[in-house]
Amino acid sequence: MRCMRKDPISTYNSGPWGAPPTPQLTGEDPTLPHVSASAVPLPDQGAATPTPTPRALTAGEIQTYVELYATAAHNAVYLAGFDGVEVHGANGYLVDQFLQDVSNVRTDAYGGSVQARARFALEVVEAVVERVGESRAAIRFSPWSTGQGELLSSIISYLFLVFVGCGMGMSDPKPTFGYVVGELRRRFPRLSYIHVVEPRVSGVTTLAHVPEGQSNDFIREIWGSGDGVHDRRLISAGGYNRNLGIAQADAKGDLIAYGRPFIANPDLPYRLAKDVPLAIGARKWYYRYGSLDPKGYTDYPPAGEETASKDLFYVESKL
């Protein structure tokens, strides 16, 4: 879940893609259970350690997880002072695992049909809304993503967990995500926004060409129809530079999200506003499992104060 203080921080559960977190943070016993919508084996894809097959959550455990999302939202808004929360329903995390038919093969009320696979996501949003209100709640989707499988053998350390390759991605995500977005519009018309990842992004790579037939316009159409349309916002993320972001906002009316550029550009809003060339981050310092070293995260200088840093591969590019 992303908690908003002008910008959001995401609340999510990694489900089966989690590996034991760093010993520095957990002490003697770092073991975490690997759970998911279903006990679907995960491909190792060259990971350093074997990827365990997750255990399917029981119906009772699902309700516990729904409550955990709600508690996290409450704590973020009322204890930590954030302005709102964004449920992370994208990129192969737990909500996405329930939505996708390749990772959810359940035969109970949470699997099978589109409506059943969407139940967990809608229950999570409902619980979050009950705790913090519609205007403080949002959700993120990546309909065209293949989860963490796009990362191949990369190991990503994120929020104390390590995610390794897995295989996701429905052959046709439109019926599922179209239904979910329609239900969100019907049940929570004052939701703060829906956040979608564009299909041109594949893992850490921005594709030169979007695969034929892949577009989030079906979500824009559903979310942007009916009563109160002017109060509903859509955020688009996915490999935007300055010019692409402006063009997308002008053409579609979307709000534009920037993620990784913030790592190397602590003054990113200023650079975008003033058309200042962006710094390119040194990817070798990203997502280092087992390390608490802030190197490569907090030591990029703002515009006008750059120093030649071979170690950070500080390079400027007019994006």
Q: Are 53 and 38 in contact (CB under 8 A)?
A: no
Q: Which alpha helices (DSSP H) does the chain contain, by range?
A: 23-26, 59-74, 94-99, 114-117, 119-132, 174-187, 217-223, 242-252, 261-264, 268-274
What is the per-residue DSSP string for 195-208?
EEE-TTEETTEE-S
Q: Collect all residues with Cβ–Cβ distance below 8 Å to 51 and sequence separation of at least 6.
A: 16, 19, 42, 43, 44, 164, 165, 166
Of the candidates 120, 132, 134, which has an alpha carbon nearest to the alpha carbon of residue 187?
A: 134
> Which residue of the set 12, 65, 69, 93 is catalytic?
93
Using a 10 angstrom Cβ sphere, with 0-12 exposed, 13-18 middle and 19 or more buried, the burial of residue 171 is exposed
Which residue type sits at 2? Answer: R
Which residue type sits at 103? Answer: S
How many beta carbons lie within 10 A of that of residue 46, not counting itself? 11
Half-sphere exposure of 69 (CA within 13 A, CB side): 33
Q: Which residue's structure tokens are 């310092």?
A: 285
Active site residue 93: yes
Q: Are 119 and 110 in contact (CB under 8 A)?
A: yes
Q: Are 171 and 21 in contact (CB under 8 A)?
A: no
Catalytic residues: 93
